[in-house]
Amino acid sequence: MAHQFTDTFCTVNSTAQAAYEAIGGGTYTYSSSYARFAPPPGCQSGGVLIPVNGYLRKNLSSNQQILTAFVSFGALGMPTAGQQSAVVVFLDNGTFQTGLQWTPSGALQFVQNITNIGPASNPGLIQTATKPINGIEVQVKIASSGGGFVNCWLNGALVISATGLTTQTSANAYANQVQIGGQSGQFGGSDQGFYTDYLRVWDSTGTTQNAPVGFDVQPVTKLASKVGLTTQFTPNGLPANYQCVSVVPPNGGDFVAASIAGIHDDYGVPVAGFTTAPNQVVVSSYYQKTDSNTRTYTNGVLSGTAVGTGATFTANSGLTWVQSCIANDPATNQPWTAAGADAAHIYHTEVS
């Protein structure tokens, strides 16, 4: 499994609650009207306007040479003559390695640091919009001396593919941060801002979810909507456990709590009516500890009576977003089917 990070921008309404380590200046507007697609009944949707000269930067969990990112995109404005604006870039501890920008002509162009590399796409592909209208997937290999490559798909069509490129700026042939948007002058452009409702980052390790999908995708976000099989956490603020964990945005007063190792909760979710298997199943939690003990936690899914969880997290004293990508259906130990993914419950447990 190669999942690094996912954001569907529909469970918070401010950058104060967002899961990013660095946030550029300006006013970020969250709205359900910024969703690229209408959600299935009962499911959540939304998006964010990244303002002019704004950016969101996420620390990845490891150093990676090959990375794939998908970002939905609608340009707020077009760059001025001689400038380009950042869509998605990969960095090594703040040093820009390589990334994708859009140009005044509406073309897409990869850059290493601030230098164009490889061919640009055809012009006119990018136009201004008032919501995300494009799905952009990129794959990059960070390397020096012509050892790198780049690929870009726009709405499922390959529009850039180049090898033999120098994509490395720092002393290291890897990236450990991803960023969407860019501050003016940060990457040699005057960034214009854009709308997005989806960011997903994979690396190339493991055997699943480690390569570009190569076609357009739609995020589907499910919140807890009914009682599950087990309710062992204590509800606070609202009567039922599932109600406490489905408040959007999180308000600090509605939550479930536990202090006994081994107890768990699961929650039913809406049926989205999947007709094809999803590319990934990711469970996100917003949690903290409220005492001086070491507290650990894990989340995942319940499929039938089988549990699948991700890594065990050590809680901070402040609220923190954590994610687990469950690559296979734990009931079958095989890749998810549409029906299996649609029926899975949200699950979490207090480890210690």
Q: Measure CA of the first residue to CA of the last residue in the chain; give whole Å.
A: 25
What pLDDT does residue 188 have? 62
Euclidean distance between CA atoms 90 and 150, whole angstroms: 12
Q: Which of 220, 218, 222, 209 is CA-nearest to residue 345?
A: 222
Euclidean distance between CA atoms 34 and 193, whole angstroms: 14
Euclidean distance between CA atoms 199 and 61, whole angstroms: 16
CATH for 226-350, options being 2.40.10, 2.60.40, 2.20.28, 2.60.120: 2.60.120
Q: Which segments of the chain have a pLDDT < 70?
A: 1, 187-190
Euclidean distance between CA atoms 83 and 163, whole angstroms: 25
Per domain, the residue ranges of the chain are 3-203, 226-350
Euclidean distance between CA atoms 221 and 6, whole angstroms: 11
Are domains 3-203 and 226-350 of this chain identical in fold? yes
Euclidean distance between CA atoms 134 and 157, whole angstroms: 11
Q: pLDDT for 223-280, tens place per residue?
A: 999 999 999 999 999 999 999 999 999 998 999 999 999 999 999 999 999 999 999 9
In sequence order, which residues have a C-beta less than 8 Å from that of residue 347 and are 6 or more positions away? 228, 264, 265, 266, 267, 283, 299, 300, 301, 302, 307, 308, 309
| φ/ψ (deg, to 5) at 292 | -90, -5
Answer whether 238's CB lies under 8 Å from 255's CB.
no
Euclidean distance between CA atoms 288 and 5, whole angstroms: 19
| Tokens matching residue 299 | 């989340």
* Strand partners for 177: 59, 91
Fold of 3-203: Jelly Rolls (2.60.120)
What pLDDT does residue 25 have? 87
What pLDDT does residue 253 have? 95
| Tokens matching residue 39 | 């959600």
What pLDDT does residue 95 have? 96
What pLDDT does residue 183 have? 77
Q: pLDDT for 124-137, tens place per residue?
A: 999 999 999 999 99
3-state secondary structure 249-271: CCCCCCEEECCCCCCEEEEECCC
